[in-house]
Amino acid sequence: DVKVTQSSRYLVKRTGEKVFLECVQDMDHENMFWYRQDPGLGLRLIYFSYDVKMKEKGDIPEGYSVSREKKERFSLILESASTNQTSMYLCASSQSPVGYTFGSGTRLTVV
């Protein structure tokens, strides 16, 4: 089975800190995605990548950046964390159009 691993399950960071969320997939998938999940709002796409060093903005990219230096790894960066970025962050990868595999999520709290 494809595995998508997010490095942290829970994180607590201070306002203004630079935060790195890491995601690794083990099946050589081309596409990787970062979503945030908030109650009542569902999954909202932050950024996605369709190849190494390639990225595209999703619906809510403000305050975030991403890095994909290797095919298996897709990092989400909060340049200066704010309390409104407290959320569940989900990473996903896919090869086929609908074969999304999600990680278990990182619950980030910014205080």
Partner 1 sequence: GESVGLHLPTLSVQEGDNSIINCAYSNSASDYFIWYKQESGKGPQFIIDIRSNMDKRQGQRVTVLLNKTVKHLSLQIAATQPGDSAVYFCAERLPSGSARQLTFGSGTQLTVLP
Contact 57, 47 (CB under 8 A): yes
Report d(CA 45, CA 37) in Å as an integer: 9
| Closer Cβ to partner 1, 83 or 97, answer by number | 97
Among residues 4, 21, 81, 110, the one that binds partner 1 under rule CB under 8 A: 4
Residues 21-60 close enough to bind partner 1 by CB under 8 A: 30-31, 33, 35, 40-43, 45, 48-50, 56, 58
Told to check if 105 binds partner 1 by CB under 8 A, we report yes
Report d(CA 49, CA 24) in Å as an integer: 13
Residues 75-104 close enough to bind partner 1 by CB under 8 A: 90, 92, 94, 97-104
